[in-house]
Amino acid sequence: MRHLKYALIAACLACFMACSDDDDFQESILNSVPEPQTPLDEWIWETFTKEYNIRVIYKWKTFEITPELNLVPTEEAKIIPFLEIIRKVWMLPYIDLGGAPFFKETAPKQIALVGSIGFMEDGLYLLGEAERGRRITILGLNTRPINELRVKQFTHDFHHEYTHILNQLKSYPPAFEAISAGSYTTSWSQITNSYVEGFISPYAMADANEDFAEMVSYFVILDAATWDRRLQAAGQPTSEPYRKLKEKETIMLQYMKNMYNIDMYELRNRVQVEMAKIIAEL
């Protein structure tokens, strides 16, 4: 038996050696040459990748973008201005309050940038999405020049999508969804006054996840007085819609503090300061 084993091993080695000698392997069709780094790539590496392990995807690779949408790449001149905005209104406020280790743990590993808006068959459009806690995609960067409205929209979109990631890592209490159970609807785009339904925006009516993310994102982009006016638009403090919004606000504030040690009032103050600086320099 021992001789048989040796014979089999010898035969296998002989076969392997014969194949190695006789076959003429062609050069691999895979391109293993690294793509040349541009000044933009180097800036992204220094600002996002080296320190926070965030890869910024802007070069057009259709397999990395939602395939059912007809999209175009981002103009390179738009990329640094956008990334500078989100660095100031999203990254730095969270890093200042939660610390660099917290941010590195929770930040998306990829940020994908798309030039066009994602128009869908039902007449709605996609401006951003968070995927499995690892990537945030922002669309529509080519569409309009950066002005005050766009700065606020970028800030809203990124805080909204980042909240989805935080919720995927640590779930918000079931009590939040119970507040408006039965009121979520696929027809949210037809709602003209969401406040009287107990929602901070029409999109918040899509489902509980969007409801929570809208509470966070609007809380930080609106100053305290404007936020209070939105709640008051729901009705008197004794009304049910006002009560629902205040209950959602309370759960959101407690969640961010208890789960991530983020004081939302401090976060809002820092975001407001950074937005004001950016807008003043436009």
pLDDT for 2: 38
Which amino acid belongs to residue 167?
N
Question: Does residue 150 belong to any structural domain of this protein?
Answer: no
The Cα–Cα gap between 7 and 79 comes to 64
Question: Does residue 5 belong to any structural domain of this protein?
Answer: no
Burial of 124 (0-12, 13-18, 19+ CB in 10 A): exposed
Question: Does residue 264 belong to any structural domain of this protein?
Answer: yes
Q: What is the pLDDT of residues 136-169, one digit of tens each?
A: 888 888 987 899 999 999 999 899 999 999 999 9
The Cα–Cα gap between 45 and 42 comes to 5
Beta-strand ranges (E) seen in 124-187 are: 125-126, 128-131, 135-138
Domain hosting 140: range is: 37-145
Mean of the per-residue pLDDT values for the chain? 85
Which amino acid belongs to residue 135?
R
Shortest CA distance to 127 belongs to which of 107, 147, 141? 141
CB 44 within 8 A of CB 56: yes
Helices (H), 31-147: 39-44, 50-52, 79-86, 92-98, 100-106
* Local structure of 66: helix, strand or coil: coil
- Pair (107, 176) in one structural domain: no
Identify the domain boundary among 83, 112, 145.
145
Domain count for the chain, please give it: 2
Question: Does residue 140 belong to any structural domain of this protein?
Answer: yes
- Pair (54, 140) in one structural domain: yes
Place of tokens 């406020």: 93
Q: Tell me, what CATH number does 127's domain have?
A: 3.40.390.70
- Pair (81, 125) in one structural domain: yes
Identify the domain boundary among 145, 160, 179.
145
Question: Does residue 30 belong to any structural domain of this protein?
Answer: no
Question: Does residue 14 belong to any structural domain of this protein?
Answer: no
- Pair (207, 133) in one structural domain: no
| Confidence band, pLDDT 50/70/90 cuts, at residue 205 | very high
- Pair (192, 129) in one structural domain: no
- Pair (134, 190) in one structural domain: no
Q: What is the pLDDT of residues 127-142, one digit of tens each?
A: 777 776 688 888 888 9
- Pair (177, 274) in one structural domain: yes
Mean pLDDT value of segment 25-30: 45
- Pair (106, 45) in one structural domain: yes
Q: What is the pLDDT of residues 84-141, one digit of tens each?
A: 999 999 999 999 999 999 999 999 999 999 888 776 666 666 677 777 668 888 888 8
- Pair (198, 281) in one structural domain: yes
The Cα–Cα gap between 114 and 122 comes to 20
Phi and psi angles of residue 56, each rounded to the nearest 5 degrees, phi first: -100, 120
Question: Does residue 164 belong to any structural domain of this protein?
Answer: no
Place of tokens 């040349």: 36
- Pair (125, 186) in one structural domain: no
- Pair (262, 189) in one structural domain: yes
In sequence order, what are the residues at sequence separation of 6 or more whose Cβ sits closer than 8 angstroms to the Cβ of residue 177? 208, 211
What is the distance, to the nearest Å, from the Cα of residue 168 to the centroid of all Cα atoms in its chain? 12
- Pair (276, 181) in one structural domain: yes
Identify the domain boundary among 145, 162, 185.
145
Question: Does residue 31 belong to any structural domain of this protein?
Answer: no
What is the distance, to the nearest Å, from the Cα of residue 147 to the centroid of all Cα atoms in its chain? 21
Shortest CA distance to 250 belongs to which of 149, 165, 179, 163? 179
DSSP 223: -
Burial 19-35 (b: 16+ CB within 10 A, else e): eeeeeeeeeeeeeeeee
